[in-house]
Amino acid sequence: MAFRKPPDGGWGWVIVVVSFFTQFLCYGSPLAVGVLYLEWLDAFGEGKGKTAWVGSLANGIGLLASPVCSICVSSFGARPVAIFSGFMVAGGLMMSSFAPNIYFLYVSYGIVVGLGCGLLYTATVTITCQYFDKRRGLALGLISTGSSVGLFIYAALQRELIELYGLDGCLLIVGALSLNILACGSLMRPLESSSSPPPEKMLVDKVPDQYFVYHEKEKTVEENISILEKGYIDEKCVNNVPDCKQDSILNKNALSSINVNEKDTYKKKVVEQTNFCKQLAKRKWQLYLTYWKETMVLFKNKVFSALFVAILLFDIGGFPPSLLMEDVARSANISEDDYYMPLISIIGIMTTVGKLILGILADFKWVNTLYLYVTTLLMTGVALFAIPFAKSYLTLAMLSGILGFLTGNWSIFPYVTTKTVGIEKLTHAYGILMFFAGLGNSLGPPIVGWFYDWTQEYNTAFYFSGFCVLLGGFLLLLAALPCWNACTNQSSKLPPNTYSYKVASNA
């Protein structure tokens, strides 16, 4: 399939709008799952660690399955994947309303909804990149805010729906809203070329059927030659019926003289195909070896190794507040009359602000993006340490806003990765880091919940979370100090035609 040059506008802005609403609809409930988390605790009576697995799977499984998601979008296209994933998200949410136990939710909400969100994220980013080149950073930044706005709105929406219709009714209505993803997906028109098919295909279409003899792998040489003879004779008989018998006798004599050549040609073709298969298998094996060699080279980079540890520890410690902050407020015996806005909504709106402001700061030449990222990690760790001392709604709201703003460091994470490994290795390195980010998302909330089940209070849990984030930040800082200048000097020696990387935020 041939693609036209990215128009950087036109229908591309429609793609941006529908991609924004797609991420809004699919990520709204999983990111605001903290509201549902309280209801599941009361409904099933399970431990906090076991119940937290539902939300952590929904947010982490998409990142863990990112290679599979990329293959699906590459094979089938963004539009079919978006429509299919819309059914997954809506179906998973509706199935969750009939969950008899927490284990059912692991599959319906954690895996089905989480995988659907991962597929939709990959589809929206892919189709947006196809339509934009010069304005790609702006377009990706706009669609990435859909998930943060979804977190802000869905936190209040789900709470209101639970009060009006109960937990089951809330999930059914939210699932029905997710069906709008199908309409958004149908508008993701692929950027295809409307030109005529390639010359190779036109030539193949003109070849008579009897000359496809060499593609019949299960037939023997003699059977293939007999098919060739029959096709040649039948063609003569159709054109000149009276002379059919005479031509048949003459053709037998003629074909018998070329049978040897046909057999040699066929055998040569078989040998060529066999050699091609061997070369293809050898090439694939070499690609796998090259991939693992490049991976080992990446981990020899001290900054990249520290970055991998930092992102894993950051997601283990920094993600639980967005899931558990509502339960923290309830554990602190904060009255519902003092609730002016759900804490998760505050996290969502401040994450949007953080993405925009930190992304703008990263564009300034005098700002070192690695040190900026390390600063956000250290500040996140300090804020997590402060949560056990917050005993009022106002202090929890302030800490939620700070944590939400610092979580916006996702917008500068691609910058840091590019500075560390270079633009040519960005895709490989970013895929590895996102896998471990998904692992951290999946493990963080259950670990914090298990701490609560063990100690019956959140203080130890958030001390652990803060320690994880601070440890990751300090390791990254120590690794960057001696060799950061070398990394920047190496990146500055890139060829002049190297493209600069723009902000591509993660959900």
Look at domain 275-484 and name its CATH class.
mainly alpha
Least confident of 184-198, 355-369, 482-496: 482-496
**How many C-beta neighbours within 10 Å does residue 398 have?**
15
Domain with residues 1-193, CATH architecture: Up-down Bundle (1.20)
Q: DSSP H helical segments within 132-243, as ranges? A: 136-178, 180-186, 199-205, 221-239
Q: pLDDT per residue over 54-74, tens digit each?
A: 988 888 888 888 777 877 887
Residue 293 DSSP label: H
Q: Residue 201 above 60 pLDDT?
A: no
Q: Residue 7 above 50 pLDDT?
A: yes
DSSP 3-state assignment of 421? helix
Task: Tell me the mean pLDDT in the region 428-433.
Answer: 74
Res 253: pLDDT: 53
**Are the C-beta atoms of residues 116 and 316 closer than 8 Å to each other?**
no
Over the range 356-370, which residues count as b (16 or more CB within 10 Å of their CB) and which as e?
A: bebbeebeeeeebbb
**Are the C-beta atoms of residues 419 and 491 closer than 8 Å to each other?**
yes
Res 506: pLDDT: 39
Q: How far apart are CA 424 and CA 445, in angstroms?
A: 35
Q: Residue 1 above 50 pLDDT?
A: no
Res 203: pLDDT: 42
Q: Residue 17 above 80 pLDDT?
A: yes
Res 204: pLDDT: 42
- For the chain, where do the domains classified as CATH 1.20.1250.20 start and end? 1-193, 275-484
Structural tokens at position 153: 């709105």
**446: closest CA among 312, 319, 309?**
319
Res 385: pLDDT: 92
Q: pLDDT per residue over 452-473, tens digit each?
A: 888 888 888 889 999 999 999 9
Between residues 92 and 285, which one has the greater pLDDT? 92
Torsion 462-167-153-30 (CA) sign: positive
Q: Residue 229 above 80 pLDDT?
A: no
Res 445: pLDDT: 83
Res 423: pLDDT: 61
Q: pLDDT per residue over 339-388, tens digit each?
A: 778 888 888 888 888 888 887 787 777 888 888 899 999 999 999 999 98
Please report, rounded to a whole number, the percentage of residues in the chain having pLDDT higher than 90. Answer: 23
Between residues 281 and 492, which one has the greater pLDDT? 281
**428: closest CA among 230, 287, 317?**
287
Q: Residue 109 above 90 pLDDT?
A: yes
Res 266: pLDDT: 59
